[in-house]
Chain A
Amino acid sequence: MIEAVGLTKRYGSVLAVDDLSFTVRPGHVTGFLGPNGAGKSTTMRMILGLDNPTRGQVLIDGKRYAELREPLRSVGALLEASWVHPNRSARNHLLWMAKSNRIPTRRVDEVLEQVGLTSVQNKRAGGFSLGMSQRLGIAGALLGDPGILLFDEPVNGLDPEGILWIRQFMQRLAAEGRTVLVSSHLLSEMAQTAEELVVVGKGKLIAQTSTSAFIDQASESTVRVRSPRLDALRQLLLGKGHPVDYVDGTLLVRAATTEHIGDLAAANGIPLHELTTQRGSLEQAFMQLTGDAVEFHTHLDSAAEQAPELTAQGANR
């Protein structure tokens, strides 16, 4: 279990983490979600005792990281896959880590096997691809068979196969009863990996909730309808008080169910060619919630946010 209480980190005039309190429980993958620059990595470094909090503290099973004896046996972490010496072999990298916490050498072979690096264990880590480096980092995290695992943006830059592997790996670790905290700036990624979410923006806690509750709350669903008599259907729906958008020859109906629209169309003899529920874009929902919590706004961002509104307005007339 990880407990952050009033965690605050100030770099000069920048408040990177602002009075952040959250709890990460065992048995689930917990997503640590927030836009780039939200303070996720800083928070993870503070969990590991690498950065000192300006205020507040973070406890691991009730202890500060510095108080842990042989900490690799309690907490495994992959913050940056590049944190290896490029000229040291993968095996030697794990060997010194194991030695430092009196972990038997046998474990080095086990974790190499587990992440599938046995065949390249004597190759220099500097020659590894990003995916292999990521696996080496995970091997290091698993070395002490820890109950708590931290991963910072583990799927960044990986190919689909690598992403799937890491996703399943983390879920398996959580299923074994471990505490798994994974950071990401992509809600869509977290939606597929994490059961619980800690959402941050500009260093502040935005929400701590289950992923499904967060998505339900964050995104409203719309129903997409195609019909040869679209205009008649539109009048009907507007008459019933449903907000309707006309986009590319289809109707997008908000705050309605497929059952309701289907029944309405049938009762009025309107044939339907398509009737589907559409989840609002997770990324849009996420942007809505973290809205002004994004640190660096660009003009491109604001243009992208405005674009859908323009289409919708045009269609309403």
Chain B
Amino acid sequence: MTLMAVERIKLVTTRAPWLCAILALGLTVGLAAVYAMQADHEVAISGSQLGIPFGLIVVMVLATLSVTTEYRTGTIRTTFQAAPSRVKVLGAKAATVAIIAGVIGEVYSFASFGAGQLLARDGAAPLSTAGDWRQVAGAGLIYAAGAILAVAVGILIRHTAGALALLLVYTLMAENLIQVIPNVGMDIHPWMPFHVGQKFLSTDGPGVGFFPTDDITLSPWASLAYFAAFAVVLLAIALGVAKKRDA
């Protein structure tokens, strides 16, 4: 708990996390508001949650920076001096960042939903089914898992530019480009972690939503578990590497 409090202090006493949080706010709630105001039809749940995947990327940038700035500035060494157990201290960092990311995801997804309700001219779909609730309330869980994954990448790569380039290129391009690989591409794509994670936040039924997840056979909750497991395994690898490596 002490170490998590330390990580919280570190996060809130620098500017970058706040800037990321504000940017994510614009991309999620801001986008939802603009969409709702322009829509000439009833705004579906998926419509109000349109910006959530973009917010996720910004939150992952926040999570990555929480590690890589420590390596860049050298405070990681002060951190390891203060708490020599690297598994504990980096684990506490991952947990803290995950909780903050989860809160951001939860607040922004409900705020996005609220924006849809308030601003849509032709009304917006209410939260009626369990699937509707999952789509909105699930954002926090995906954000938390995504943050753990980003922390792991930050620990492994250590350089801000490298870690961010890898994460952005991977999430924005690589997973989709996999599909163009002849023969196997279409078989691999349903198992790409971010793509699978997206299923958890998608509307039930085929072909609905902005990010089609029809090719995924896993159930929404199994999709979340798959994405989270991927993040946790990557974190475990990162912690193992950090333990052995010179700081």
Of chain B, the residue at the smallest CB distance from A95 is B9
Give chain B nearest CB distance to A238 CB in angstroms.
58
Give the segment of B52-60, B78-86, B233-241 that binds chain A: B78-86
B14 at the interface (CB under 8 A from A): yes
Q: Interface with A: B69-77, B102-110, B178-186, B204-212, which one?
A: B69-77
A99 to B80, CA, bound (A): 14
Q: Does B127 contact A (CB under 8 A)?
A: no
**A49 contacts B80, C-beta separation under 8 Å:** yes
Within the complex, what minimum Cβ distance (angstroms) separates A31 from chain B? Answer: 22
Q: Choose among A71, A82, A83, A102 the residue that contacts B84 (Cβ–Cβ < 8 A).
A: A71
What count of chain A residues pass the 8 Å CB interface test? 32
Point out the residue from A79, A97, A99 that lies within 8 Å of B2, measured CB to CB.
A99
Write the B1-29 contact mask toward A (1 if CB under 8 angstroms, else 0): 01101100110011110000000000000
Q: A residues 14-69 with Cβ under 8 Å of B? A: 45, 48-52, 65-66, 68
A68 touches B84 (CB 8 A): yes
Enumerate chain B residues within 8 angstroms of A95, measured Cβ to Cβ.
Answer: 9, 13
Does A229 lie at the interface of the complex (its beta carbon under 8 Å from any beta carbon of B)?
A: no
Main secondary structure of the interface of B (DSSP, over half): helix
Contacts of B169 in A (CB 8 A): none
**B residues less than 8 Å from A51 (CB atoms):** 246-247
Write the chain B residue with the least CB distance to A48.
Answer: B81
User: Is A87 in contact with B9, judged by CB distance below 8 angstroms?
Assistant: no
Shortest Cβ gap from B155 to chain A (Å): 15
Q: Is residue A221 within 8 Å, beta carbon to beta carbon, of the partner chain?
A: no
A100 touches B247 (CB 8 A): no
**CB-defined A-B contacts under 8 Å, sample of 8:** A48-B81, A51-B246, A72-B81, A75-B81, A85-B10, A85-B69, A85-B73, A88-B14
A291 within 8 A of B: no
Asked if B13 contacts A96 (CB within 8 A), the reply is yes
A79 to B75, CA, bound (A): 11
By the criterion CB–CB under 8 Å, are A52 and B246 in contact? yes
Which residue of B6, B15, B70 contacts A87 across the interface (Cβ within 8 Å)?
B15
Task: Say yes or no: A99 contacts B81, CB within 8 Å.
Answer: no
Q: Are A45 and B246 interface neighbours, CB within 8 A?
A: yes
Tell me the minimal C-beta distance from A157 to chain B in angstroms.
17
Q: How far is the CA of A45 from the CA of B14 in the complex (A)?
A: 27
Give Cα distance in the complex from A89 to B74, angstroms.
16
Q: CA–CA, A250 to B113, complex, Å?
A: 93
Tell me the bound Cα distance from A149 to B45 in angstroms: 60
Residues of A within 8 A of B84 (CB): 49, 65-66, 68, 71
Q: Provide the residues of chain B in CB contact with A49, threshold 8 Å.
A: 80-81, 84
**B247 to A86, Cβ gap below 8 A?**
no
User: Which among B5, B16, B75 has the greatest number of chain A C-beta atoms within 10 A?
Assistant: B75
- Considering the chains assembled together, what is the distance between the CA atoms of A80 and B75 in angstroms? 10
Known A-B contacts A88-B13, A100-B3; A83 and B77 likewise in contact (beta carbons under 8 Å): yes
Which listed residue, B10, B16, B73, B85, touches A83 by the CB 8 Å rule?
B73
Q: For the complex, is A227 an interface residue (Cβ under 8 Å from B)?
A: no
Q: How far is the CA of A75 from the CA of B84 in the complex (A)?
A: 12
B202 to chain A, nearest CB (A): 38
Q: Please state if A99 and B77 are interface contacts (CB–CB under 8 Å).
A: no
| Nearest CB in chain B to that of A42: its residue | B246
Q: Given the complex, which residues of B lie within 8 Å of A65, measured CB to CB?
A: 84
Q: CB distance B9 to A72 under 8 Å?
A: no
**Cβ contact within 8 Å between A100 and B15:** no
Interface contact B6-A99, CB-CB below 8 Å: yes
Bound complex: CA A97 to CA B9 (Å): 10
CA distance A232 to B13 in the complex (A): 77
Q: With A71-B84, A80-B74, A100-B2 known to touch, is A92 a contact of B246 (CB < 8 Å)?
A: no
